[in-house]
Amino acid sequence: MNHNDTPQAIERGKTALGIEFGSTRIKAVLIGEDHTLLASGSYEWENRYEKGVWTYRLEDVWTGLQESYRKLSREVLEKYNTPLRTIGVIGLSGMMHGYLAFDQEGNLLAPFRTWRNTITGPAAEQLTDLFQFNIPQRWSIAHLYQALLNRESHVKAIHYQTTLAGYVHWKLTGQKVMGVGEASGMFPIDSQTNDYDKRLLELFNKQLAVEKLSWQLQDILPHVLVAGESAGVLTEAGVKLLDSTGQLKAGIPLCPPEGDAGTGMVATNSVAERTGNVSAGTSVFAMIVLEKALSKVYPEIDLVTTPSGKPVAMVHSNNCTSDLNAWVELFHEFTQVLGVDVNQSRLFEVLYQQALTGDADADAGGLLAYNYFSGEHITHMEEGRPLFVRTPESRFTLANFMRVHLFSSLGALKLGLDILFEQEKVKIDQILGHGGFFKTKEVGQKIMAAAMNVPVSVLETAGEGCAWGIALLASYMLHRAKNEPLEAYLANKVFAGENSATLAPEPRDVAGFTTFMERYKKGLVIERAAVDGLQP
């Protein structure tokens, strides 16, 4: 879009607003009809560990939403001398899974339980056995069933259960709906109908009948929509929740709310078969769009969908960069004690780059680390204990220290990916990376290529992340041609001519990561002992 034309486009609502509720940041982006970024705003937030539960307070949801929107609208005014009074379309994205349950009056019945919790082991195991379909601990249905197994009194009063994105969408529009990709992290989806699997609903309802509850599962779940379908409009009440100034007009259409997995796929143009992407930040997950069903159920592999309903194999690790970030913060504190003024972004860059220097051994010099801030289902750890371990013979250098923590960020993910690539022989044509792990040029990309042993690409636009992804889904709803598939819209109208940087795996790095993983698997007994022996 020509910069001179932008003010008029903003005034006429030729824009799309995407808002993402990420694990550490709420971000809003405004894009034009050509899908380029016009303005953005963000708000930093963090989960809390309260009474044994990882949670966010709902008042922080609304504070963060308003603050990120306020910053975005201020940037619009400053850059284009145009107040933001209308928008063409809005989309909402959020962390998938978790548990948000409400009564008939819309009151929250229990603190928000996020994806990060590993407190639903019995429920996940029983449902996986009942359905013969893997139900991970973080899925919404696992949280609901665990509450039932725990005999939590609030269960009988549930009138609506949703996710974070679904909750915000409901409050802005009054509509209890959800995109199919997000819904596939609540309950298994039948990709033939793009709706909840009816056979599995019946199986679950038989379990509910024993409890003599007044509702059935389909009564309390959001209605499922696919990409491109209308999901309601911004109400007057919704305007007050979004724009504290009240100058935004009601009536703006919204697309179906989607989870960060789906919007990450969209942001990396990875919604077609044989494509995949890796999102790496607080958590890390790989999404591979499948050509055919897997041969059997794997507890390490989730089966979800793209925003248009295509089946996807998802490998999700609860932990990625949190421990690495903590170490960098420690180094930052050390520079402050020395009286040296080093920008934190620069410190990240310098330390990350150490992992690729000639002083770094391919296998990280015999060092070992576990980045488990929280429990890790892939390795069967119900709680987290970050660890750094070495022997007297290990080569303890800064380069190896940074390399082992980058390796560790992908350790659990690697165990799940080995199932797809080695046991199921899944084929992919491309892997695209996005998230904070890839922010320092080439470093995260090289480490990921070594872990996956496939070329890894990073798009120039990938830094905009899931907020941009949901803005694209909103634009697709508004501007798609009749019967135009999402993958065609993205390939032809969004990513045509898009620049990307691709790095192939280097044999030395692949061999080094393989050696590290052998050490990682053997050392899990150390992590197990730490979980059992170190109680908070």
Query: In this predicted model, what pLDDT tens digit does every residue of 408-444 receive, in sequence order?
Result: 999 999 999 999 999 999 988 878 988 889 989 899 9
Give the position of tokens 């634009």.
475
For 165-264, list the strands marked E by DSSP.
Answer: 177-179, 189-190, 195-196, 223-225, 258-259
pLDDT at residue 464 tops 80: no
C-alpha neighbours within 13 Å on the C-beta side of residue 210: 9
Q: What is the pLDDT of residue 212?
A: 87
pLDDT at residue 3 tops 80: no
pLDDT at residue 2 tops 80: no
Percent of the chain whose pLDDT exceeds 70? 99
H helices of 228-275, where? Answer: 236-242, 260-267
Contact 55, 47 (CB under 8 A): yes
pLDDT at residue 500 tops 90: no
Q: What is the pLDDT of residue 428?
A: 87
For residue 116, which of 3, 256, 22 has the smallest C-alpha distance?
22
- Mean pLDDT for 139-156 is 97
C-alpha neighbours within 13 Å on the C-beta side of residue 142: 29
Mind giving me the DSSP string for 417-484?
HHIIIIIS----SEEEEESGGG-STTHHHHHHHHHHTS-EEEEGGGGGHHHHHHHHHHHHHHHPPTT-
Tell me the two tokens of residue 285.
Answer: 């997950």
Contact 512, 450 (CB under 8 A): yes
Cβ atoms < 10 Å from Cβ of 409: 26
- Mean pLDDT for 369-392 is 94
Contact 501, 349 (CB under 8 A): no
pLDDT at residue 313 tops 90: yes
Tell me the two tokens of residue 26.
Answer: 């709420």
Q: What is the pLDDT of residue 473?
A: 98
Q: What is the pLDDT of residue 284?
A: 92
pLDDT at residue 1 tops 80: no
Q: What is the pLDDT of residue 461?
A: 60
Spell 243-259 as b/e; 16+ CB within 10 A means b.
bbeeebeeebbbbbbbb
The CA-to-CA distance between both ends of the chain, in Å, stands at 54
Give the position of tokens 């280097």.
506
For residue 185, which of 149, 138, 129, 131 has the smallest C-alpha distance?
138
Q: What is the pLDDT of residue 430?
A: 75
Give the position of tokens 């390796």.
407
pLDDT digits (tens, 9 = 90+) for 266-288: 998 999 998 899 988 888 989 99
C-alpha–C-alpha distance, residues 479 and 241, integer Å: 27
pLDDT at residue 463 tops 60: no
Write the DSSP symbol of residue 360: S
pLDDT band at 22; cut points 50, 70, 90:
very high
Spell 260-281 as b/e; 16+ CB within 10 A means b.
bbbbbbbbbbbbbbebbbbbbb
C-alpha–C-alpha distance, residues 166 and 175, integer Å: 9
pLDDT digits (tens, 9 = 90+) for 101-136: 999 999 999 999 999 898 999 999 999 999 999 999
| Residues constituting the chain | 536
Across the chain, mean pLDDT equals: 94
- Mean pLDDT for 332-346 is 93
Contacts of 338 (CB under 8 A, 6+ apart): none
pLDDT at residue 214 tops 70: yes
pLDDT band at 459; cut points 50, 70, 90:
confident
Tally helices (H) and strands (E) across the chain. 19, 22
The helix/strand/coil state of 502 is strand
Mind giving me the DSSP string for 295-335?
SS--TT-EEEE-TT--EEEEEEES-SSHHHHHHHHHHHHHH
pLDDT at residue 186 tops 60: yes
pLDDT at residue 226 tops 60: yes
Q: Give the least confident one: 65-74, 219-228, 346-355, 495-504.
A: 495-504
Q: What is the pLDDT of residue 462?
A: 53
pLDDT digits (tens, 9 = 90+) for 230-265: 999 999 999 999 998 989 999 999 999 999 989 989
Q: What is the pLDDT of residue 496?
A: 86
Contacts of 500 (CB under 8 A, 6+ apart): 432, 457, 458, 459, 460
Q: What is the pLDDT of residue 263?
A: 94
